[in-house]
Structures are given as structure tokens and as C-alpha cells.
Amino acid sequence: SPSLISAVEKEGEIGKERMERCGGECYTDILAERISPPSPPLIASVWEETIRHTSELRHDAERLMLGPTLGRLLHDVVAFGYRPGMRVMELGTFTGYSAMWLAKGMEAGRRSWLESTSNDGVQPLSSS
């Protein structure tokens, strides 16, 4: 569709590489990212770095992670279901991108716990 083509063009080379790697299965994600409100700056920078990082890997790592659309869904599920002292556990961290969305859903001065753990051997992009 024309809107999808323009969305991919706006993504530039990174968008073209993503579509080649995903075999056409990520078109709706790219379009949804374009029509959704922007991600917070820190989360957006981790997403960009994650995309660059996955392009360096030999296997199809992009299928192992979620994108901004599902990240916002995680945020909304946690924010909507929040209770004081709530605990959230994420099993299977890739670069910490989804954990950041979960934490964003738990923020606003609330006391909560987020545990994110992985043993898949992929190094996180940052330690913060």
C-alpha cells in the first residue's frame, strides 16, 4: 500500500534492512510505529541501537524481539493493571527493550519491582 511504502521510506536504510530480514512479516509493525505517538527518547534510542545490533548478528534475531507496537501494549497492560507494590517479571531478555516498556508502565513515583532475566548468551546493549 502507498502509506506502507512511505512509512518504509521514512525508516531509511534501517527500515529496508528490517523488511528484508523479516521476509515481509513486519510491514504492519513499521506502519503502526509511524502512526503511533513517539516513544520516550531513552526507549527510542534503545530501539534504534537494538535494530543496529540485530543487523550485525548472523541469525534472524529480529524475530526474537518485540517492536514499539507490542512495547506500548506491554506498557498499557502494566499501567492499567497496576497495584501498589506490584511485581513484574520478564523472562528472556534480549537487549532490555521490553523491560524498559514494562518499567515505563510501572513509573510515576510508584513503588514496584521489575525483574528481567535472561540466560541466552546475548549481551545487553547497556547496563543502565
Distance from chain centroid for Cα 54: 12
Give 18-62 pLDDT, tens digit per residue: 666 666 566 666 666 666 778 889 888 888 887 777 766 655 555
> Looking at the DSSP assignment, which residues form a beta bridge with residue 88?
114
Query: Are 77 and 20 contained in the same domain?
Result: no
Query: In the predicted model, what is the mean pLDDT of residues 78-105?
Result: 82
Query: Are 76 and 29 contained in the same domain?
Result: no
Query: Are 71 and 127 contained in the same domain?
Result: yes
Query: Are 3 and 64 contained in the same domain?
Result: no
Q: How many structural domains compose the chain? A: 2
pLDDT of residue 46: 85
- The answer for residues whose C-beta is within 8 angstroms of residue 117's C-beta and 6 or more apart is 89, 90, 91, 92, 93
User: Residue 88 gets which letter from DSSP?
Assistant: E
Beta carbons of 50 and 95 less than 8 angstroms apart: yes
Query: Are 59 and 89 contained in the same domain?
Result: yes
Query: In the predicted model, what is the mean pLDDT of residues 97-121?
Result: 73
Query: Which one has a higher pLDDT value, 20 or 124?
Result: 20
Give the CA distances from residue 10 to residues 13, 51, 117, in Å, rounded to whole numbers and listed in that order.
9, 15, 34
**For the whole prediction, is pTM greater than 0.85?**
no
Query: Are 44 and 24 contained in the same domain?
Result: no
Query: Are 31 and 61 contained in the same domain?
Result: no
Residues of the domain holding 12: 1-35
Indicate if the pLDDT at residue 5 is higher than 70. no
Query: Are 11 and 71 contained in the same domain?
Result: no
Query: Are 55 and 103 contained in the same domain?
Result: yes
Query: Are 76 and 30 contained in the same domain?
Result: no
User: Residue 61 gets which letter from DSSP?
Assistant: G
